[in-house]
Amino acid sequence: MSIDFPASPSNGTVHASGAMSWTFDGTKWVAGGAQAKYIIGCYVPGLLTASQYLLVHTFSKGITIPANFGAYLGHASQGRGGAAATGSVAIDVRKATAAAPGTFSSVGTISVAAAALLATFATTGGTAITFAAGDTIAVVAPATPDATFNNFNATLVGFET
């Protein structure tokens, strides 16, 4: 039997043919459905302080965050503030492995433009970010925080691997 999968599917696209279904996981079609989603979030009230840790999360199992924090199974990473930024805000997303838990490297950015509330997301190199069980993600405020941007919140979406 030949399956006509859609050309250029987006992450989380479901395709059914007869009694079978497949889900596109961002790199390949997965028969019978997709990996379970993995969602984490944070809320930081008030103004950000210099290099403040806004989220620190150690993963209980392996997960992948899609390239540029793309959507998965209809869920999309989101971020915003409660008051518009005076200047642009670049929040760093970092990763530490279980083998080197005190050593973080930048893997992405959550950005809020001047006069904006809503964030845009980018992964380093535009590629997916993989985390093994025991790895840690940290979301860190800029070294020089914006004077008006406050009440930061974010939801990050990934899938179990």
108 with 29, same domain: the answer is no
Residue 146 is classified by DSSP as -
Strand boundaries in 76-144, DSSP class E: 78-80, 89-96, 105-112, 119-123, 129-131, 136-140
85 with 49, same domain: the answer is yes
pLDDT digits (tens, 9 = 90+) for 107-119: 999 999 999 999 9
121 with 61, same domain: the answer is yes
What average pLDDT does this structure show over 43-62? 97
Whether the pLDDT of residue 44 is over 80: the answer is: yes
pLDDT digits (tens, 9 = 90+) for 117-147: 999 999 999 999 999 999 999 999 999 999 9
- At 37 the pLDDT is 86
20 with 42, same domain: the answer is no
Query: What is the count of structural domains for the chain?
Result: 2
45 with 77, same domain: the answer is yes
pLDDT digits (tens, 9 = 90+) for 61-99: 999 999 999 998 888 999 999 999 999 999 999 999 999
pTM of the model as a whole: 0.81
- At 101 the pLDDT is 96
What average pLDDT does this structure show over 18-24? 68
16 with 58, same domain: the answer is no
Domain housing 1: 1-34
Calpha distance 109→92 (Å, rounded): 5
29 with 41, same domain: the answer is no
What average pLDDT does this structure show over 139-159? 97
44 with 76, same domain: the answer is yes
- At 62 the pLDDT is 96
DSSP characters over 53-85? EEEEEE-SS-EEEPGGG--BTTB--EEE-SB--
17 with 79, same domain: the answer is no
82 with 139, same domain: the answer is yes
Average pLDDT, the chain: 91
Q: What are phi and psi of 60, to 5 degrees?
A: -85, -15
21 with 60, same domain: the answer is no
53 with 86, same domain: the answer is yes
Dihedral-angle region of residue 33 (phi above 0 means left; psi in -120 to 50 means alpha; beta otherwise): left
Residue 97: give its domain's CATH number.
2.60.120.40
- At 1 the pLDDT is 56
What average pLDDT does this structure show over 142-161? 96
